[in-house]
Amino acid sequence: HRDIKSENILVCPLGELKLCDFGSATRKKPDGKPHQAYPVGTLQYNAPELLDGNWYYGPAVDMWGLGCVMAELLSGATLFQEESEYEMTAEMSESRDRMTSASGKLDPECLAKLSEDGRDVLTGLLTFCPEKRLTAAEALEHLWFNNSKAALD
């Protein structure tokens, strides 16, 4: 999809979620084949690897976007507020120097709204290293999605 953000997630009457706005979408590239070298998606939801100019990215960029949306739902504001690519890259670099996951940017009060399993999912989605970031399959298998008590405390 490459542009997952709150505005591109629709909630249907029965609670089903649907993605929309596939203007940035592209087919997955084979390993070792880069995407075109131009920015995609909305800056505040861009994964660190995109900001680093890595054009060999994969589905992990969408998982990062989902993590940003999850953080936004908890806090009521976008996780990253920077307006320019330069500011965003600087903020991302500073955050990576201090933590392994951008979930650490959230106010502890926001994180307290989540169960331990929910915090684990958020941390996994916002892991800076794409190879260590939670995949869609791993997220769906996570205890937080498979335990009826595990949502918000």
Catalytic residue of the set 3, 21, 31, 107: 3
Q: Decide if 120 is catalytic.
A: no
Size of the chain in residues:
153
The Cα–Cα gap between 42 and 110 comes to 24
CA of 108: how far to CAs of 41, 81, 118, 134, in Å? 28, 18, 14, 21
The Cα–Cα gap between 21 and 121 comes to 25
Catalytic residue ranges: 3
